[in-house]
Structure 1
Amino acid sequence: MSDVPLAERKLKVAAPLAPGEWPCTRATSSAGADSAPRVNNHAQTPRQNDSLSVLLQVEDALPLGIWMGKRGLLVSVSCLAQLFVHEAPAWMVSMVVHMVTLVTMAMVTVSEPVQYKPQHLIVTPPEKKVEKIVDVADKLPTTLDESVVVEKTSLDSKVEQEKKFIDPNNEPEAAPATAAETIESGMHHVAPGDILKFVGGSGGSPFSGRAMARNIKKVEREGGSKSSEQAVSKALKWLANHQLPDGGWSFDLVRCPTCNGQCRNPGTLANARNAATGLALLPFLGTGDTHKVSRKYKSTIHRGLQYLVNRMRVGSHGGALNESGGTMYSHGIAAIAICEAYAMSKDPDLLTPTRAVLGYICYAQDPIGGGWRYNPRQKGDTSVVGWQLMALKSGYMAGFDIPPLVVERTSLFLDGVQRNGGAAYGYTTPGQGEATTAIGLLCRMYLGWKRDNPAMERGVRMLSKRGPSPSNMYYNYYATQVMRHWEGEPWENWNRQMRDQLVHSQAKQGHEEGSWFTGDGDLGAPTGGRLYCTAMATMILEVYYRYMPIYRAESVEQDFPD
C-alpha cells in the first residue's frame, strides 16, 4: 500500500494563486494531474453590488476556510460561493443573501450606555494601632439582608493578653483625642444612603481619649458626696465580679460562676441576656470609663460590648437585639449602651453597630400610634418608649441624624397618653402613674420641652411633692434625670433624699457588698433581681458626673432636627 496519505492520493494541493486569479478558475483532472485552466466568464473581479460580492464580503468576516485531513487541504469558501451563485436559482440566492445578512446583523451587539455612578468621598481615620472591639462590625452590609445573622466570633485575643500583662492600676493615661481625629474616626466606613446618616455632630464626650479621674470637690458641687463616690466604686466592683465568662451578664445570678447563688434575690429573666448586659455596662460608662480608656474596667467593658455586637441579628431593617425574655426592652437598653460607648470613645469599630441598632428602633416604631412595645410595630406603651427614645437621643448626640418622622410619631404617642395637658402620663392610655409620668416628662425634655413650658413645670412640681420612692427604683431612675435637668431648688431637695437613701440601703458585707435590692415595690425587681436594682441605683448616683451624653445638659438643650 502506498505511503502517501489518503488526502494526497485523492487530491493534490493546488499551487498558489496568481494575482487576480479565482480558486474556481483552476481545475484538476480526476487523476490529479494539472490541466489547462478553463475560461470562466464570471472569474473576474466581482462588481461591488452583485450577489457574489455580498457573499465574499460576508466571507471576509468568517474563517478563511475549512481544514480537512492531517496535511491540511484547504477548501476555499470562495469556491463554494461561486458554485452556488452559478448553479442555484435567483430566488434561492436572494433568500440566502438575506438570511446571511440577518444572521450577521443578529450577531452584532449594542452595549447599553454606561452609567457612571457618583464617587463618594469617604474620610478614613489616620493609621494607628487600635484595639478592635469586634471583627464583625466591618461585615455588617450597607444594605442589610433579613436572612443574615452576624457571625459569632471569639473574643479578641487582645483582651486575654490585656488580662495577663496589663496592670489596670498602672495603665498609662491616653493622650486626649484631637477634634480632627474625633471627626475622622467617626466618618470611617460611612456610606451614603444608609438608614441613618452620620453627620459628625457634637455628640462625643469632651472627656473622650483620657481616663476619668473624678474630682471629689466637683462631684460635691454637683450634688454628690464622698459616701456616694464610695457607693459607686463598690457597685462597679460587684458588677464586674458578676460578669459571665462569655462577656455578658445575666439577671439570674445563679448562672454566674463567681456567684453561684451566693447573692440573694436573683432575677428570673434568664433569657434576657442582652438587657442584663446593656444594663450592667451603663454604670461603667456613667463614670467615664470606656473599652478604650479605663483604669480598672477596660477589659470588662470591652468584653460586654463584644458580647452585644456578637448577639446582634442583622436584617434589612437594621441590627436587632430584642429577645424572648426581654423583647424590645432588651433592644432599647442594649442600644443605649452601644450608642453611649460609641459617643464617648469614637471607636470606628462601633460606628456600624451603632447605626444598625438605631435603624432597627426606627423600623420597630408603631407607624400609626408612634410608640414602641414588646414586638416591632406593636401599639406602644410609655415604659418601652422611654428606652427607645433615650437610645435615639444618645445616637443623635453621637452624631446620627434621626429621621424627623420618627421624632414626630413619638410626640404623637405621648400626646395620646398624657393627662393634665402633658404634666402626667399613663401606660397605654391617658393616666398619671408615678413611673410613667417621670418617663413621659423626660421624653418631653428630649423632644424639646423647656423650663418655660407650663405643663413641664406642673409635672416637676408633682414629682417634687411625691419625692423619691423607697422601693421603686424604676421611678427613681427616670425622676432623678428629670430633676437633674431641671436643676434649682427642686433638684437639690430631691437629690438629698435620693442620694442618702441609696447610700444607706446598699449592701455592706459579704458577697452582696456593693449591691442593692429594693423589694417588690418596683415591678422590675422580682424579674431583674439584684443585678437590675444595682445597675439602676448606680446610674442614679452617677448623674453628677454628666459623662454619658444622655446625662449631659445638651441632651435636653439640643433638639432633634425638623
Structure 2
Amino acid sequence: MNIQIVRRLGVALALGASSFTSGLRAQEEPKDRDTVYRTQTPEVDARVESATRRGLAWLASNQSKAGFWAGDVGYKVNANYRVTAPDKEHVGITALGLMAFLACGEVPGRGKYGDHVERAARYLISSSQENGYMTAQGSRMYSHAFATLALAEVYGMTKSKDLRDALGRSVQLIADSQNREGGWRYKPFAQESDMSITVCQVMALRASRNAGVFVPKNVIADAVKYVRESARNQRENEYWRTFRNRQLGVFNTGVFKYQKRPDARASFALTAAGVTTLFGAGVYEDPLIDRGLDFMLENQEEYNRTFESHYFFYYGNYYAVQAFYIAGGRRWKDYYFGSGRTTGIADFLTDRQASDGSWSCEVGPGTSFATAVATLILAIPFQYLPIFQR
C-alpha cells in the first residue's frame, strides 16, 4: 500500500483553519474515485464499486438535515433486539454512516457528498455531553465508541479545534470507564466487561492515537490481557461439547467468548471482535489470531446464512473484514472474494443489495444501520482510512 497516495487523495489532508466551519473542510478536491479504484485496488471489481456508490446514494438521501441517521435505538437481548426508542436519531448509526462515506474517499466540505460528511460530523460533536459521553435517545457505549472512531478519522483530516476538544473528552471517558477486568460494558463505569463492547473501545482508542490524541499505554495493555483471557481453553471446550448451539455455542479452542467466565458463549462475531482487538492493540503475532482466523473461515458460510438480515451478521462481518484485511494473504482473499467452497462476503452482500441501494436488517437498528455497515465492509479494500489500512 502506498500511504502517500492515499493521503494525497484526501485521507490525511492538512488543514490550517482555526474556526469550526473552515476546520472541518478539506483544502483540496479529492481526485476522481474511478482512478483511485483502478490504481489502488485493482482486485476490487466494478460490481463492488457500484454497490458502494449506490449505498452512499441511499445514505445521502436518507440523512436528516441535522446530520444524523435515524434508527431503532435499543440493545441486544440474547439473539433478539429490544427497541427503546423507535426510529430516532441514532449516534451509532450516524457514526457508521459517516465512516461509510470516509471509507469511500469522501471528505468534509468537498465533492459530491462533502456536505453530508460535514453535517454528520457536526451532529456527533453536538451529541457530546460535558463528561465526553456521546449519546442520544439512550444510546450506549457501542454508539459512543463508533462516534469516537469516526471523529478521530475526521480529526486526522481536519485538525479542527472544536473536534479535538470533543474527541479528547471522549477518549478520556473511554479510558476512565475501563474496569478492573480490562474491558468495558454497555454503560460507562460498569463493573463487568464483554468482548463486543471492548473491541469498539479499543478500535476507537487506536484511531484516536493515530490522529495524535494521547491514549495511556496501560489502558491498551489491560485490554489485551482481558482479550487473551477471554479465549476459550480446552477445559471449557469439554463443557460446551454437550451444550453446543450452532453458531452461538461453538467449542473450538481459540475462539473468543462473550465474557471471561467459563460458561460464556462464543461465536463467529465474538471471535472476529477478539482478533480485531488484538490487531488494534498492536498485537500481530499470536496463536490465538491464527486459530481465530481459521475458525471464522470454517464457519463463515454457515454464520452468514444463519444470520442474514440480522444485526449479528452485520456486526460480526464489520469486525471480520477488518481482521482478515489486516491478516492479508490467502485468508483475506477467501473471506472477501470466496473460495471454491464458500461465498465471499463481497458476493454475499452485493447479491443482497436492494434496488434502491440499501440493505435490510430485520432484527436490529434497521435499514440505515445495515446500509452503513454493508457499504463499510465492501469499502475496506479502498484503503482510504488509517484505521482500515494494513
Give the alignment's TM-score, normalised by structure 1: 0.55
In structure 2, how many angstroms separate the alpha carbons of the residues matched to 1:212 and 1:409?
41
Give the partner amino acid of 1:457: D
How far off its partner does 1:323 sit? 4.3
C-alpha distance in structure 1 between counterparts of 2:88 and 2:140, whole Å? 10
2:366 counterpart SS class:
helix
Are residue 400 (structure 1) and residue 216 (structure 2) matched?
A: no
Structure with the larger helix share: 2
Give 1:306's aligned amino acid.
R
Name the counterpart of 1:211.
30
Pairing partner for 2:281 from 424, 435, 447: 447
Deviations 1:262-296 (A, max 9, x none): xxxx9965456212211221101111212143x11
Corresponding residue to 1:489 among 330, 335, 350:
330
| TM-fit CA distance, 1:220 | 4.5
Q: Secondary structure of the residue that 1:424 maps to in structure 2? A: coil
Q: Which residue of the other structure, out of 60, 68, 72, is the alignment partner of 1:240?
A: 60
C-alpha separation in 2, matches of 1:231 and 1:275? 22
Query: What is residue 167 of structure 2 aligned with on the other side?
Result: 354
Letter in 2 for 1:453: D
Q: Is the 8 A contact 2:195 2:273 kept in 1?
A: yes
Structure 1 position 306 matched with structure 2 position 143:
no
Aligned-partner residue type, residue 172 of structure 2: G
1:373 aligns with 2:181: no
Distance 1:267 1:288, change over 3 A: farther
Aligned length, in residue pairs = 330
* Unaligned runs of at least 5 residues, structure 1: 1-174, 190-206, 254-265, 520-525, 554-562
Q: Percent identity?
A: 28
Q: 1:310 to 1:268 in 2, by over 3 A?
A: closer
8 Å Cα contact 1:267/1:531 also seen in 2: no
From 278, 284, 288, give the equivalent of 2:105: 288
* Residue equivalent to 1:462: 295
Alignment partner, residue 536 of structure 1? 373
Provide the residue aligned with 1:438 in structure 2: 272
Q: Counterpart amino acid of 1:415? A: R
Determine if contact 1:212/1:289 at 8 Å carries over to the other structure. Answer: no
Q: Which amino acid aligns with 1:312?
A: S
**Is this contact kept in 2: 1:271–1:326, CA < 8 A?**
no
SS state at 2:382 partner: coil
In the TM superposition, residue 244 of structure 1 has moved relative to its aligned partner by: 1.3
Paired with 1:267 and 1:208, the residues of 2 have a C-alpha distance of 41
Higher RCO structure, 1 or 2 (CA under 8 Å, sep 6+):
2
Q: Secondary structure at the match of 1:527?
A: coil
Structure 1's 301 and 267: CA in aligned 2 closer, same or farther, altered over 3 A? farther
User: Which residue of 337, 346, 355 maps to 2:150?
Assistant: 337
Residue aligning to 2:80: none
Q: Where in structure 2 are the equivalents of 1:502-517 lying within 5 Å?
A: 502-508=349-355, 513-517=356-360
Amino acid at match of 2:173: Y
* 8 Å CA contact 2:108, 2:118 repeated in 1: yes
The one-character-per-residue Cα deviations of 1:412-457 (angstroms, maximum 9, x if unpaired) are 321332124983211123553111110001001112222x422211
1:424 to 2:251 alignment: no
CA distance in 2, matches of 1:417, 1:396: 25
> Residues of 1 paired with 2:171 and 2:85: CA distance?
28
Question: What are the within-5 Å matches in structure 2 for residues 75-114 of structure 1?
Answer: none
1:270 and 1:413, CA in 2 relative to 1: closer, same or farther beyond 3 A?
A: farther
Q: Report the Cα offset of residue 461 of structure 1.
A: 1.2
Amino acid at match of 1:541: L
Choose 435-444 or 341-350, whichever is displaced more.
Answer: 341-350
CA distance, structure 1, for counterparts of residue 367 and residue 273 of structure 2: 22
Distance 1:436 1:272, change over 3 A: farther
Asked whether 1:548 is paired with 2:385, we answer yes
SS in 1 for 2:181: coil
SS of the counterpart of 2:130? strand
Conserved? CA contact 2:95–2:146, under 8 Å:
yes
Distance 1:507 1:518, change over 3 A: same
Contact 2:37 2:382 in 1 (8 A): no
Correspondence 1:511-526 to 2 at 5 A: 513-519=356-362, 526=363
Deviates more, 1:279-288 or 1:244-253: 244-253
For 1:298 and 1:488, the matched residues in 2 are separated by: 34
3-state DSSP of counterpart to 1:251: strand
Q: Distance in 1 between matches of 2:219 and 2:129?
A: 22
Kept after mapping to 1: 8 A contact 2:127/2:136: no
Deviation of the 1:409 alpha carbon: 1.9
Q: Judging changes above 3 Å, is the alpha-carbon distance between structure 1 residues 506 and 301 closer, same or farther for their aligned structure 2 residues?
A: same
5 Å-filtered alignment, 1:7-86, equals: none
C-alpha separation in 2, matches of 1:415 and 1:374:
20
2:124 maps to amino acid: L
Distance 1:309 1:325, change over 3 A: same
Contact 1:477 1:536 in 2 (8 A): yes
Write the deviation string for residues 515-536 of structure 1: whole angstroms up to 9, x where unpaired.
00154xxxxxx23111111111
Structure 1: which 4+ aligned runs deviate by more than 4 Å?
207-210, 266-269
